[in-house]
Amino acid sequence: MLSGSTRVTSPDPPNVLILFTDDQGYGDLSSFGHPSIETPNIDRLGQEGMRLTSFVTGSWCVPSRTQLLTGRYMPRVDFGGGTGADGTGGLPASELTLAEALNEAGYRTGMAGKWHLGYKKDRFLPPNQGFDSWLGLPYSNDYVKPWVQTEEPLGMYRGTEMVEHPINQDSLTLRYTAEARRFIREHSGGDQPFFFYLAYNMPHLPIHTAERFRGQSSAGRYGDVIETIDWSVGQILDVLEQQGVAENTIVFFASDNGPWLDLPARMLQAGNKPWHQGTTGSLRGSKATTYEGGTRVPAFVRWPEHIAAGQTSDELVASPDIYRTLLEAGAAELPDHTLDGHNLLPWLQGDRSTSPRNQYAYVLRNTLEAMRIGPWKLRVAGDTTQLFNLQSDPAERFNRAPKHPERVSRMRRAMRRMADSLGVPVAGTRSTNGGS
């Protein structure tokens, strides 16, 4: 086990609730600047806790979920193959998932929603990765014809068994919400704390919502979908209050990555429209890029009486930190392999000098393409080198590499060290005056 661990020692360890959306953009919430989508329940998490405006994660589904549930950058994890439809890979037994660690620490664990970390073998599925229960889909909701040419059925799982096929995607958010509420009611007030992970399939394309929510948002169908998620969050916060466990429950909300703006042609059929997507607000890029619009997402953390209400922080925080922090809060044992997360507990609970994270590696398609150190971000792709100061230029409009060659050199060396640690190459470049 890792030494130097700082854990909360309490006779009453906190419950843990993670709410994780799919492809929701940085600018899709009222509190992050959307002018017409209304998200009072999600925004309430920031009013009663902390809003994180510089939270970063993986640039697409699998890396972001790997970081959240293992505390490690994806290249450190040997999946042995793909994890979408027809993929034969999955999380190996050598990884200690967040659910496994909390389960071993005495937590009851449950999940609803999208998995996407392996399904072909039962050992890859959530019930064999630390979750006592699971209702959901094994991967993204577009892994079905005509968007993906596969014969694999997209079905609903209960435990390790597919129990429903085909599925009505309109009802997914409602069903996941009901599952979360049931789990919380059943496991509140007992002698064990609980951990529940709700991984929404929405607003990943093709977007769906129930009839009762259609036309309710002035932002069109996409707005209806986001406001359905907001309703879901409200329902879950309400049941925490009803069960008397809200005060001692850590609630973390984030998206897995930015919106899917640069759509492949395969997705623009069967009812999908280019405007059925979110917004990155002022940020550049989108899903599957290493610009901030692909990796910086809206995030909140609430823990009454431990995290002061009404805070906003632009300190750098990343999804591996959530893994490490929740294990510390739950007095769980840490794995004896390399973790990429930091314990945020002292910072969240009042030691506000600075977040313990000072750097972040942006890995895309098994290549280290960018790295942030402090406010500076170096990005290399193709024949361009770009240096941005994310404090003064979060939209990454102004390439400052030509004016800071020494900083570029230092950051390149840091990238090489990180790439060596991860076992991946650094993206190549041939100039220092590429596009801005």
Q: Which among 421, 420, 434, 328 has a CA at the least distance from the CA of 72?
A: 421
pLDDT at 4 over 60: no
User: Residue 20 in contact with residue 256, Cβ under 8 Å?
Assistant: yes
pLDDT at 354 over 80: no
Q: Which among 226, 218, 291 has a CA at the least distance from the CA of 22?
A: 226
User: Residue 16 in contact with residue 325, Cβ under 8 Å?
Assistant: no
Q: How far apart are the C-alpha atoms of 241 and 239, rounded to whole Å?
A: 5
Give the active site residue among 116, 187, 276, 306: 116
Q: What is the pLDDT of residues 279-326, one digit of tens each?
A: 999 999 999 999 999 999 999 999 998 999 999 999 999 999 999 999
**Percent share of the chain, pLDDT over 90:** 92
Q: Give kind and range of the element (H or E) at residue 346.
A: helix 345-348
What average pLDDT does range 7-28 have in this prediction? Answer: 86
Q: What is the pLDDT of residues 253-273, one digit of tens each?
A: 999 999 999 899 999 999 999
Q: What is the pLDDT of residues 44-95, one digit of tens each?
A: 999 999 999 999 999 999 999 999 999 999 999 999 999 999 999 999 999 9
Asked whether the CA dihedral 315, 68, 63, 265 is positive or negative, the reply is negative
Q: How far apart are the C-alpha atoms of 141 and 148, rounded to whole Å?
A: 10
Give the CA count within 13 Å in the CB-facing half-sphere of 227.
19
Give the pLDDT of residue 305. 87
Give the pLDDT of residue 11. 59
pLDDT category, 229, cuts 50, 70, 90?
very high
How confident is the prediction for the chain on average, in pLDDT?
94
pLDDT at 430 over 70: no
Contacts of 77 (CB under 8 A, 6+ apart): 66, 70, 91, 92, 95
Q: Which residues pair with 52 in a beta bridge?
A: 299, 313
pLDDT category, 9, cuts 50, 70, 90?
very low
Give the active site residue among 61, 204, 306, 342: 61
Q: Which residues pair with 55 in a beta bridge?
A: 317
What structural domains and CATH numbers belong to the chain?
15-348 (3.40.720.10), 359-422 (3.30.1120.10)
Q: Six-digit token pair at 406?
A: 């020494």
Active-site residue 61, yes or no?
Answer: yes
